[in-house]
């Protein structure tokens, strides 16, 4: 496997951290900034101008379904085995680093490598589907490499986002071998060993090897092209199905977001229609009428279901015809994402910080539908369990500051155990526990 060694930074970590804080605080003339590399200072300036988050999590721009479809068609999909063989040989799960491959916009498409490092970096949102462009997260190797169209190394405190400062990384753009257009970005993230001269040579060489393999594959395909029949009928273009997301977290009235060729729009739904649509989106296999009535009304024999489904179909027929439910059993025949499912998917990927940010509150908090109450409890339990088991103390404290965690005695006790003995936050936690107990 690759040999990683310590980097040789020109400025001390503390000096870079203070220079960063002065810049963010609005003091661009602070003399400590002179000790920071020009490349990093320039990137910090762009990050500041684009209003990148200093402590925010990146946006998750590709949900599981969109990510799978996009990756399968991406020109770099066929290069994964080559990348693994060069950057993650041997036992990839115990390599000490994670390797990411993103697209030209900075969205991470594949993230593989050391299981422990993946769990920790996932906590700050370094997960598949997240946008790591400079505009979103500020200075980082993948985003800055794309911004400069060259390989870049970023050492811990040089990151603009404070949540990323424990890590170091090396990244290089991958270009089309013929047009030189950027296709994506290759990144190695880990401790100081991930941003050494040897790491940069290896990442650069891997990027060039990927470009070479792309060129060879194209030349081979062209040489075989005359042998293929040219009498095949042209494929008929298929209309693009709109993508739809039902947003129910922290909302008494759900919003159905629709994105398609005609642009984006949002449709507000009544509580009952939101309950019905949420049940159908969650039970993709479909639901018999009695079961759907039980989940929504608490009564399998409710006679209110049929007329309400007629009204829901009428609303969807005008706003989103592709989502009009089929019958016997009631089911959706087009994909419908929910923000609740997206939050659970983030937890599965280890993106705890992003998942917490994506949880503004309970699903349809005013609803008393049994199926919604069950989903609500399951989602909150999954979020709490994942944070309690895998998250750091800063994230647990953030959860404790939400309505969901405010009165959680076990959570507060765990925060107290994890905090350093001299932490100024201990006194507040002790006072909260005394009030609750």
| Backbone φ and ψ of 172, nearest 5° | -145, 140
Strands 243-247 and 337-338: parallel
| Joined tokens for residue 118 | 């993946």
Burial letters for 105-144: b for 16+ Cβ neighbours within 10 Å, e otherwise? bbbbbbbbbbeebbebbbbbbbbbbbbbbbbbbbbbbbbb
The confidence score (pLDDT) of residue 56 equals: 77
Q: For residue 54, is pLDDT > 80? A: yes
Mean pLDDT (the chain, rounded): 87
pLDDT digits (tens, 9 = 90+) for 149-191: 999 999 999 999 999 999 999 999 999 988 999 999 999 999 9
CA dist 361 and 377 (Å) reads 12
CA dist 194 and 264 (Å) reads 41
Mean pLDDT check: name the lowest of 48-57, 162-171, 189-198, 247-256.
48-57
pLDDT average, residue stretch 3-32:
71
DSSP-derived 3-state class of residue 346: helix
Q: For residue 1, is pLDDT > 60? A: no
| Joined tokens for residue 391 | 């998250």
The confidence score (pLDDT) of residue 260 equals: 72
pLDDT digits (tens, 9 = 90+) for 62-107: 888 889 889 999 999 999 999 999 998 877 677 889 999 999 999 9
Let me know: does 64 contact 142? Beta carbons within 8 Å.
no
| Backbone φ and ψ of 107, nearest 5° | -80, 130
What's the gap between Cα 421 and its chain centre? 34
Q: pLDDT above 90 covers what percent of the chain?
A: 54
Q: pLDDT above 70 covers what percent of the chain?
A: 92
The confidence score (pLDDT) of residue 241 equals: 53
Terminal CA-CA length for the chain: 53
Q: How many angstroms separate the Cα of 332 from the Cα of each of 8, 97, 261, 307?
A: 57, 42, 21, 18
| Joined tokens for residue 138 | 């500020």
pTM for the model stands at 0.62
| Joined tokens for residue 109 | 């498409």
CA dist 61 and 95 (Å) reads 28
């Amino acid at each position: 496997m690759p040999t990683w060694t310590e980097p040789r930074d020109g400025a001390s970590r503390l000096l870079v951290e203070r220079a960063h804080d002065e810049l963010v605080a609005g003091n661009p003339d602070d003399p400590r900034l002179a000790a920071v590399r020009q490349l990093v200072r320039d990137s910090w300036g762009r990050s500041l101008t684009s209003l990148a988050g200093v402590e925010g999590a990146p946006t998750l721009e590709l949900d599981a379904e969109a990510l799978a479809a996009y990756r399968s068609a991406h020109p770099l999909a066929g290069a994964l085995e080559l990348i693994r063989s060069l950057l993650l040989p041997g036992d990839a799960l115990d390599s000490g680093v994670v390797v990411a491959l993103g697209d030209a916009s900075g969205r991470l498409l594949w993230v593989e490598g050391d299981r422990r490092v993946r769990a920790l970096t996932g906590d700050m949102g370094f997960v598949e589907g997240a946008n790591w462009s400079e505009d979103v997260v500020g200075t980082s190797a993948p985003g800055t490499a794309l911004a400069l169209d060259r390989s870049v190394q970023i050492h811990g405190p040089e990151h603009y986002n404070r949540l990323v400062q424990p890590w170091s990384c090396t990244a290089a753009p991958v270009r089309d071998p013929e047009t030189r257009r950027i296709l994506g970005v290759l990144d190695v993230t880990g401790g100081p060993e991930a941003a050494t001269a040897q790491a940069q040579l290896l990442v650069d060489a891997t990027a060039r090897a990927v470009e070479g393999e792309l060129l060879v594959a194209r030349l081979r395909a062209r040489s075989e092209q005359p042998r293929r029949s040219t009498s095949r009928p042209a494929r008929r273009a298929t209309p693009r199905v709109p993508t739809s997301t039902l947003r129910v977290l922290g909302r008494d009235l759900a919003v159905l977001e629709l994105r398609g060729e005609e642009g984006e729009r949002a449709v507000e739904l009544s509580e009952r229609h939101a309950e019905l649509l949420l049940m159908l989106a969650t039970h993709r296999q479909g639901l018999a009428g009695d079961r759907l009535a039980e989940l929504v009304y608490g009564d399998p024999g409710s006679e209110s279901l049929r007329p309400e489904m007629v009204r829901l179909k009428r609303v969807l027929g005008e706003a989103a015809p592709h989502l009009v439910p089929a019958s016997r059993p009631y089911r959706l025949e087009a994909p419908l994402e929910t923000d609740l499912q997206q939050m659970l998917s983030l937890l599965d990927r280890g993106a705890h910080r992003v998942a917490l940010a994506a949880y503004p509150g309970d699903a349809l908090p005013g609803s008393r539908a049994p199926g919604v109450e069950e989903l609500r409890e399951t989602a909150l339990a999954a979020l709490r369990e994942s944070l309690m088991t895998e998250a750091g103390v800063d994230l647990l404290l953030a959860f404790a500051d939400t309505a969901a965690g405010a009165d959680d005695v076990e959570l507060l006790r765990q925060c107290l155990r994890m905090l350093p003995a001299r932490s100024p936050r201990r006194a507040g936690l002790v006072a909260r526990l005394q009030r609750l107990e």
